[in-house]
């Protein structure tokens, strides 16, 4: 495809790596040829690069497939998912899933992003409900407005929660910022 056809959110394959277009701008200076200035984000590492192309230069668009999958269980460093339609099971290495493993629980339905039969990433919902497995009780009389304490959740992640949250409570957690939202 041509660089003139770039849109935000498109995925490109550049030098064997996948990049998502964050933003782009067509520039036509008074002298010289037009060009396209863009910011692209590496899908695997998250690194953002600035790249400039000549107008109408050819780039390779990567077609990503999103599949609805259910997380079944963990097998060592492998996470086992089942296709919701065909019931096929696939194993995905924990390194492919990145930080999202902190929010995945058994039986959860997710969307896996796949490129050429290779899992690139997982799309999490905006928030998830998790059980607090370990938390110190709030100290009586210590009711400072906005006071927080650490709590360990069922997936192993530790986040800051208000003092009234106790062990065994179900809470909602924002998957983008790993912050407490509310009790569930």
> What does the angle CA 100 – CA 85 – CA 11 come to, to the nearest 5 degrees?
50
Query: Final residue of a domain: which of 61, 77, 104?
Result: 61
Report the sign of the C-alpha dihedral through residues 72, 119, 65, 37, in that order.
positive
Give the least confident one: 41-50, 128-137, 154-163: 41-50
Residues 153 and 115 in one domain: no
Query: Final residue of a domain: which of 61, 84, 109?
Result: 61
Q: How many domains does the chain have?
A: 3
What is the C-alpha to C-alpha distance for residues 66 and 147, in angstroms, rounded to an integer? Answer: 41
**Which CATH number belongs to the domain containing residue 147 in this structure?**
2.40.50.140
Query: Final residue of a domain: which of 61, 82, 111?
Result: 61
What are the Cα distances from residue 51, in Å, to 13, 40, 67, 151? 13, 7, 30, 42
**Which CATH number belongs to the domain containing residue 16 in this structure?**
2.30.30.30
What is the C-alpha to C-alpha distance for residues 158 and 133, in angstroms, rounded to an integer? Answer: 10
pTM above 0.85, yes or no: no
pLDDT digits (tens, 9 = 90+) for 152-161: 888 888 988 8
* Residue 54 belongs to domain spanning: 3-61
What is the C-alpha to C-alpha distance for residues 163 and 166, in angstroms, rounded to an integer? Answer: 8
pLDDT digits (tens, 9 = 90+) for 78-126: 889 998 888 888 888 887 777 788 888 888 888 888 888 788 878 888 8
């Amino acid at each position: 495809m041509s660089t003139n056809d770039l849109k935000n959110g498109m995925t490109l394959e550049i030098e064997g790596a996948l990049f998502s277009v964050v933003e782009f701008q067509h520039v036509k200076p008074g002298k010289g040829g037009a060009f396209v200035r863009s910011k692209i984000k590496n899908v695997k590492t998250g690194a953002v690069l600035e790249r400039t192309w000549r107008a109408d230069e050819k780039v390779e668009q990567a077609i990503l497939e999103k599949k609805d999958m259910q997380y079944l269980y963990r097998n060592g460093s492998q996470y086992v998912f089942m296709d919701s339609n065909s019931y096929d099971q696939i194993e995905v290495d924990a390194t492919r899933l990145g930080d999202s493993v902190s929010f995945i629980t058994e039986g959860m339905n997710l969307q896996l992003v796949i490129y050429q039969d290779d899992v690139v990433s997982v799309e999490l919902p905006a928030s998830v409900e998790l059980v607090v497995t370990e938390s110190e009780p709030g100290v009586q009389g210590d009711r400072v407005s906005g006071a927080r304490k650490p709590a360990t959740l069922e997936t192993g992640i530790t986040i800051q929660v208000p003092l009234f949250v106790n062990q065994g409570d179900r809470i909602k957690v924002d998957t983008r910022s790993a912050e407490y939202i509310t009790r569930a």
